Structure 1
Amino acid sequence: MLYFQLVIMAGTVMLAYYFEYTDTFSVHVQGFFCYDTTYTKPYLGPEDSSAVPPVLLYAVVAGLPTLLITITETVLFLVQYTSKEFDRSEKTVATGDCCYLNPLVRRTFRFLGVYTFGLFTVDIFVNAGQVVTGNLAPYFLTVCKPNYTALGCQQALRYISHQEACTGNQDDILRARKTFPSKEAALSVYAALYLAMYVTCTVQAKGTRLAKPVLSLGLMCLAFLTGLNRVAEYRNHWSDVIAGFIIGTAIATFLVVCVVHNFKGKLLLSEESPAEQRPNTAMLNMGRVESPLEKYIASQNHIAFAEVT
């Protein structure tokens, strides 16, 4: 099963790579109406000039969960390590058929592995939606720079559907055709919700009754502000951001509830492994063979009981 999961993970990464960095999947060319004010918002420059640039977003989305989950799992493990339960438990757990891992390493890799898988899944869902819909950004006509005279746009209701209508920079035009759903909104809310549920379900220490909600709501607030920034900078429509929020929330909830089961699982193993417990259970279920001496004693007890009655 370990090798099978690695194959699935590799396939997910490759599919995300093809969506992100190759032209294997062509973007749908959506038309527009002449002088449509919906797509005439100002273009504030490339994504790197945004208040939340991609470098910062990807660094936070990848680094913060890794750091937080690793530190939390280490602290929880050390708390149990210093308790009496560790002396009665196994120190390692078998993984696959060849190697042994500490329970701390196993849990940390499990939660981070599922989180990483979810990141690539969100990226695939978002890119698939952008390629299929080809929804136009609010600044599309600003970078498209259509020649309205050549297109015959004497009236605003004329619909232009051919790709050659634009005369601007092709990279900017292609980017302006990939806005639905918003990738930044989807990734930010996915990371925030996954971490919020992790902290809520895992940390059970005293004195965290208010600390956990504050941290969780703070993370969700940052994700919400990321989506607001996309609308404020005219890089996405409200519908793009809301769709991104829905995708990120749905994938995070599914992985936490159905895959890692609300982060349940012991940091340390029980006193006996399942392989050692099965023979004992089998011995208890086997039929008991009576010896001749036991049969003789039982018959004498039966005779004595008959004489008394």
Structure 2
Amino acid sequence: AGREAPHLRQIMFYFQLVIMAGTVLLAYYFEYTDTFPVHIQGFFCYDKSFSKPYPGPESASKIPPVLIYSLVTAIPTLMILAGELCTFFIKAEGVREKTIVTADCCYFNPLLRRIIRFLGVYAFGLFTTTIFANAGQVVIGNQTPHFLSACRPNYTALGCQTTLQYITERRACTGNPLVVMAARKSFPSKDTALSVYAAAFTAMYVTLVFKTQGTRLTKPTISLTLLCLAALVGVVRVAEYRNHWADVLAGFFTGGAIAVFLVTCVINNFRWLQPGAPSPRPQRPESLLGMPMVTLPCVESPLEKLSGPQVRGGGGCEARLRSQHRR
């Protein structure tokens, strides 16, 4: 069994690499190809909720996607590197740990393994958030607030006379097809989801890992700053008529839920688990069959009161209590 364990670890390691590669590939197909067509929703004539002015391409935004992608990649990476280096050199001991790749021949520094673990999980969550957001946009096909400005429908040809008339024709739009297709992908807000995911993951890392003295106000300040920046992304998306409030809130929920799940269930709240560390000492059970044990009052027996010290055993009720306490 001892020889089979390294082989099993190698198999699981390569299996995780396959999962990571599949996640990256799926995110690429959602983002840069037309493999998954967007659902075409209809619209009401002269609908005011979709009649906001066209704000221009995404690159013209005050917070363009390139800036968001750079920040959600750089800030958590730098924070994790700095935190792990500080934690390792201050608290951790230099324990040599066997690598999961080459099993018995080589050794792997626990610091490097922990950094790769956290950054790998973070990258996996980043691509997963992208997949969830893109999948929601493709399946739902909800229009942006500036949809009609990008669509430029010919109301005369469509026969629009009242605002209650619903248009379902796929060729109703006369605008740029690429701009119209982008205007059909609003729910949930992908930029907001990525920002919240990065902010929540980094905030939980800072809160759970940094345990040194003097960080009572530093950790909340860093965490709240990151969360405020993520919220600012959502506010800008709404202010520029690129998303509805419902889209932004859905992005908040998507990114935050993925971050909480990965931190709590996958990497166990960033705990430092040393290899070969002794297991915690089992505590004495304090209940039987799920019922709490209650200490009953001690009552002196009449025989103990009438007998001499040699019969009572030199202690009576008090001796029994001391013996119970030692057990």
When the two structures are superposed, what TM-score results if normalisation uses the length of structure 2?
0.79
Q: Does 1:94 align with 2:94?
A: no
Trace 1:63-78 onto structure 2 (pairs within 5 A): 63-78=74-89
Counterpart of 2:6? none
1:17 aligned onto 2:22: no
Structure 1 residue 184 corresponds to structure 2 residue 184: no
Partner of 1:240: 247
- Once the two structures are superposed, what CA deviation does each residue of 1:207-243 show, in whole Å capped at 9, x if it has no partner? 0011001100110000011101100000000000000
Quote the sequence identity (%).
Answer: 60
Q: Is the counterpart of residue 56 in structure 1 residue 61 in structure 2?
A: no
| Among candidates 181, 203, 208, match of residue 210 of structure 2 | 203
1:124 partnered with 2:135: no
The CA deviation at 1:91 is 2.7
Query: Residues 155-194 of structure 1 correspond to what in structure 2 (within 5 A)?
Result: 155-194=162-201
Runs of 5+ consecutive residues of structure 2 not aligned to the other structure: 1-11, 279-327
In structure 2, the residue matched to 1:256 is 263
CA distance in 2, matches of 1:175, 1:241: 16
Q: Could you say which residue in structure 2 is the equivalent of 1:294?
A: none
Instruction: Please point out which of 136, 139, 151 is paired with 1:144.
Output: 151
Task: Name the counterpart of 2:15.
Answer: 4
Structural RMSD (CA): 1.4
Greater helix content: 1
Structure 1 distance, partners of 2:171, 2:255, is 35
CA contact under 8 A between 2:195 and 2:233: conserved in structure 1?
Answer: yes
Task: Give the C-alpha shift of residue 271 in structure 1.
Answer: 7.3
- The TM-score normalised by the length of structure 1 is 0.83
CA–CA distance in 1 between the matches of 2:98 and 2:89? 17
1:100: Cα distance to partner? 2.8
Structure 1 unpaired stretches of 5+: 273-309
Deviations 1:172-201 (A, max 9, x none): 100000010000110000000000000100
Q: CA deviation at 1:97?
A: 3.2
Measure how far apart 1:78 and its partner are.
1.6
- Divergent runs of 4+, >4 A: 268-272
- Provide the C-alpha distance between the structure 1 equivalents of 2:157 and 2:277, rounded to a whole number of angstroms: 81
Cα distance per residue 1:85-113 (max 9 Å; x no partner): 44xxx334322335432111000000010
Pairwise CA distance, 1:264: 0.7
Aligned-pair CA distance for 1:58: 0.2
Which residue type is aligned with residue 4 of structure 1? Answer: F
Taking the aligned partners of 1:269 and 1:134, their CA distance within structure 2 comes to 49
CA distance in 1, matches of 2:66, 2:128: 19
C-alpha distance in 1 between matches for 2:189 and 2:97: 43
> CA 1:271/1:20 → structure 2, altered by over 3 Å: closer, same or farther?
closer
AA of the residue aligned to 1:70: L
Q: Which amino acid counterpart does residue 179 of structure 1 have in structure 2?
A: S
Cα deviation, residue 269, structure 1:
4.4
C-alpha distance in structure 1 between counterparts of 2:71 and 2:213, whole Å: 28
What is residue 40 of structure 1 aligned with on the other side?
Answer: 51
C-alpha distance in structure 2 between counterparts of 1:66 and 1:91, whole Å: 24
Which structure has more RCO (C-alpha within 8 Å, separation ≥ 6)? 1
State the alpha-carbon separation in 2 of the partners of residues 207 and 167 from structure 1.
Answer: 61
From 108, 118, 142, the counterpart of 1:135: 142
**Correspondence for 1:30 among 26, 29, 41:** 41
Opposite residue 166 of structure 2, the aligned amino acid is Y
Amino acid in structure 2 at the alignment position of 1:50: S
1:230 aligns with 2:241: no
Q: State the distance in 1 between where 2:221 and 2:247 align.
A: 28
- Counterpart residue identity of residue 25, structure 1: F
In 2: Cα distance, 1:260 partner to 1:44 partner: 41
**Alpha-carbon distance in structure 2 between the residues aligned to 1:184 and 1:178:** 12
Cα shift readout 1:23-67 (whole Å, capped 9, x = no counterpart): 111100000011111101011110111011011000000111111
CA contact (8 A) 2:96 2:107 kept: no
Counterpart code for 2:135: A
